[in-house]
Amino acid sequence: MARLAAFDMDGTLLMPDHHLGEKTLSTLARLRERDITLTFATGRHALECSIFSGRYRWMRI
């Protein structure tokens, strides 16, 4: 069975400086440990999201 968690970026995952907070990173790491694929759900253009996928390589766009 495939398992996926999708998250909004702006105002949900990302802090005002456009980075993930330590608590958020810790929570997302626990999800990854449970073999859950993590992805962004956003209205942003895919090219704009590539910045984040480069910074957080485990995140799928």
**Active-site hit among 8, 10, 17, 35:** 8
3-state helix, strand, coil in the chain (%, to 5): 35, 25, 40
Among this protein's residues, is 17 annotated catalytic? no
| 27 and 8 Cβ atoms separated by less than 8 Å | no
Q: Which residues are catalytic?
A: 8
